[in-house]
Structures are given as structure tokens and as C-alpha cells.
Amino acid sequence: MSATADEKIILITGFDTVAALTAASASYHVIIGSRSLDKGKAALSKIESLNNPGTTSLIQLDVTSDSSISSAFTSISQSFGRLDVLINNAGICPEPSDAKWPTRNELKSIFDTNVFGPTLVTQAAIPLLQKAKDPRIINVTSSLGSISTRLNPQDIVAGANYPAYRMSKAGLNMLTAYTQGLNEVEGVMVWSFCPGYVVTDLGGDRKMKEDLGVDSSETSARGIVEIVQGKRDGEVGRFVEREGRSREW
């Protein structure tokens, strides 16, 4: 089947923000790209139980596997014919906050998911994005990836270490800038978006975050929905946050 002109086909790697996107519009069809089909099916079932107006589907997509990326985009092309929005959301942060220096294996693992994966997914997505009327890429980053923030002792975020994670998100931010500046992807708008400190499985301690009253991923997803809806078009190519805020690179 092919997507209708009224539909907006959105691919997100990972599960966070899917519920908010499907709640935003009946015309949104969100493809969940999940490394694990079992986890993806569980997430899909939970989202569908909300009876949101938007629709969802599931595809196996391991961002650390070239063959998985290729198969996923072949399937998307055959099923929908185009892609309107790519959300590079999958990421890992296995480091403790007090880590001083990462090991080689930690660097390889974190960069493979947080930088290499989004780069290769973006490259694979561009031909399908260029078939859309209003193509967008959202790279889900972190304030920890801001070089300016790390060097500002007045910023509360400056004190946390997470060295490999910081470096990886700085690399993801460069992917945003690089993609935005490519002539061959003219017309594809790109943002780095920081959702803030929210309740997800990233970094573990999910229950601790909930007990601390940390914002839900659904709350943080509003910023992504705003970008999809065109409400942040004046900030294209920038490092943006929720509630209209932006951050220096």
C-alpha cells in the first residue's frame, strides 16, 4: 500500500513520544522502529490501547546493523512510498554519572547507537524524505551534548560527567548541522531537540526518576509534536528544547 496525500508518515527509532504523536492527529501514522520485536509489540499494544486517533505500525530496526537498516527502509518504501518525518530517538547511556573517562569498549558501544546509527539511518531515509512535501528530521539529543554548557560553570548541567554519552550527543548535534548544510538534501529541515530530564529507561533508575517527580516522556514529547506541526520552523537547523527554549551548541 502507499500513503495517502493527507497522511503524515513518521518513523521513530525507539518508543518514547509515540503516544503523544498518535494523540496529536488522526492523519499521523507512526512507524515504531524497534531493535526487539517483542518489546516493540508490547509497546505497540500499549499505545493502541489508548485509542488515540493516529495509527501505528511496527518494524524491526536495529540502528547498529547495516542490514537491518537496509531491510527496514526497503519495507517502508514498499509499504508507504515516502517518509515525512524521521525521529532519531534511539540512544543509550550505560555510564554512571561520576565516570571520569570511558573505556574503548564503552566509546564503541555508545557511539555505535548514538552517532553511527542515526547517521546511517538518516542517510537511508533521505531518498524517501525527498518524496515528501514537507520532510523533517528530528535528532533527539541532550543538553549534555552542548560544548558551551559543559564550559559554563554556572549551568547546573556542567557538573555531570557521562563522558562518552556527552561526546556522542555532541556528535549527534554535528549530524544535525551537517545534514542541514548539505545541498543534496535541500528542502529537508533538521533540528536537534533536547527533551530534558524525563522518565525513560535511558540510564536506568526509571523508578527513581518517577519518585523524584521527573517529567514524563509524554510531557517532553510536546516539543517534538510542535516541530512536526511546523511550530518551530523559525528555528530550523538549531539546538532546541521544550517550551520554546533553545541552547547554544
Is residue 169 flagged as an active site residue? Answer: yes
- Catalytic-labelled residue, pool 8, 28, 162, 165: 165
Is residue 165 flagged as an active site residue? Answer: yes
- Catalytic-labelled residue, pool 169, 197, 207, 209: 169
CB-based contacts of 11, cutoff 8 Å, min separation 6: 30, 31, 33, 59, 76, 83, 85, 86, 87, 125
Catalytic residues: 165, 169
